[in-house]
Amino acid sequence: MKLVHDDIIYNLQSKGGITNYWKNLKPFLQDKANLINVNGHSKKERKLPFGILRYMNSNTVFKTNFIFHSSYYRTSSANKSINVITIYDFIYEKFSEGLRRRIHVWQKQRAINNSDHIICISHSTKNDLLIYYPEVDQNKISVVYLGVKNEFMRNDKLKTKKSLIFVGSRGGYKNFSILLDALDILSNYSLIIVGGGELSNQENKRLKNIKYEHLIECSDEMLNNLYNQSLALIYPSSYEGFGLPIIEALKAGCPVICNKGSSTGEIGGEYVLSGSMSKEFIINSILKLNNESFRNDLVKNGIKYASSFTWEKTANQTLKIYEELWVKFQ
């Protein structure tokens, strides 16, 4: 079986959820398949501006059949190609407007139409796919959950502090402002903000009366320590394709407070405190965690649950899809 991965995502972002997905998936596939990594364009085409090149389908060609799996909504036009795409979310469709949205939707729709199989990273994302593209054959859709790195683990030597942690971008649907509303009332708790770029002027003003620390860059080891020391991860986002920080936090023994909607409720299940996101819900959930017995049960059950999410499992399920397609198209 010849497997070609289109690494276009590394030209689009140096870090982020999709890059994380591919970096963790590849090592487990290297030894199990004849894996070739390409950017998928000829020398002549690579002279074109990247703003154009990123939207062009790959011209990778082999004399025999090959599976082409793009990291970001491209397919191969070669006759011998078997095209696989991964759909991560529908953020552009739900929250973007104008030309940016139209271009993204065009590219994604083209990839969907030209694909032989589609991998969705959650059932929520699969449901969104069928809402936006009801004509897609459900038989060519598989749900494969993401994994969590081994670096995330419980460290009983670290003591829990009266602090809360927020991870990732903060704009719009991420509902960061609702968390700040809650902390205006729970003023005896501190906040650790991880990632998401520089704080805006508006955010700085909003945080004026809140005890906080902002880490723009954070290693996995440091993040694991922060999870271990935090009373809870607050993940108020109203929409995610998966919500990886939820599983990272649970595996590190950090309870999670999140929205019940979209994939966050699906991924967290009964192992998180989830509900309709509001200031009151966050406050009540934080206060519940002051019950040591209640919190300890959440931690214990969360660690066991999150440990079932591994990148090896993700890779094996992905490999099985490749193998079934390989047999089908011979």
Q: What is the CATH number of the domain that holds 73?
A: 3.40.50.2000
Into how many domains does the chain fold? 2
Q: How confident is the model at residue 54 (pLDDT cuts 50, 70, 90)?
A: confident
Whole-number pLDDT of residue 56: 75
Shared domain check, 41 and 174: no
Nearest CA-CA partner of 260 in 289, 290, 286, 240: 240
- Report the pLDDT value the prediction gives residue 51, as an integer from 0 to 100: 66
| 25 in any annotated domain | yes
Closest C-alpha to 87, from 39, 24, 141, 36:
141
d(C-alpha 309, C-alpha 147), whole Å = 5
Query: 295 and 315 in one domain?
Result: no
Does 324 map to a domain? yes
User: Across the chain, what does the average pLDDT equal?
Assistant: 93
Residue 243: left if φ>0, alpha if ψ -120 to 50, beta else—which one? left
In a domain, 317, yes or no: yes
Residue range 101-127, pLDDT digits in tens: 999 999 999 999 999 999 999 999 999
User: Is the pLDDT confidence value at 42 over 80?
Assistant: no
Q: What is the pLDDT of residue 40?
A: 53
Q: Residues 170, 139: one domain?
A: no
Query: Are residues 21 and 86 both part of a single domain?
Result: yes
270/323 same-domain check: no
153 within some domain: no
Q: Tell me, yes or no, whether 224 and 93 share the same domain.
A: no
Domain containing 195 equals 163-306
* C-alpha to C-alpha distance for 99 and 105, rounded to whole angstroms: 10
Instruction: With respect to residue 27, please indicate whether it lies within any of the assigned structural domains.
Output: yes
**What is the rounded distance in angstroms from the CA atom of residue 101 to the CA atom of residue 95?**
9
State residue 59's pLDDT score: 72
Q: Are residues 136 and 202 in the same domain?
A: no
Confidence of residue 317 (pLDDT cuts 50, 70, 90): very high
Please tell me the predicted confidence (pLDDT) of residue 43: 57
Q: Check residues 302 and 45 and name the one with the higher pLDDT.
A: 302
pLDDT tier for residue 75 given thresholds of 50, 70 and 90:
very high
φ, ψ (nearest 5 deg) of residue 223? -65, -40
Q: What confidence score (pLDDT) does residue 58 get?
A: 75
Residue range 82-100, pLDDT digits in tens: 999 999 999 999 999 999 8
Of 138 and 41, the structure prediction assigns the larger pLDDT to 138
Whole-structure pTM value: 0.93
Of 30-39, 242-251, 259-268, the one with minimum mean pLDDT is: 30-39
Task: Tell me if 156 is assigned to some domain.
Answer: no
How far is it, in rounded angstroms, from Cα 44 to Cα 187? 60
Q: Kindly state whether residues 130 and 168 are assigned to the same domain.
A: no
Tell me, what's the pLDDT at 261? 87
Examine residue 90 and state whether it is found in any structural domain, yes or no.
yes
Residues 296 and 169 occupy one common structural domain: yes
Within-domain flag for 50: yes
Which residues are bridge partners to 215 per DSSP?
194
- Asked if residue 168 and residue 139 are part of one domain, the reply reads no
Task: Say how many C-beta atoms besides its own lie within 10 A of residue 148's C-beta.
Answer: 25
Q: For 272-295, what is the mean pLDDT?
A: 97
Same domain? For 132 and 229 the reply is no
Q: Which of 88, 106, 146, 62 is nearest to 262 (CA)?
A: 88
Q: For residues 226 and 111, state if they share a domain.
A: no
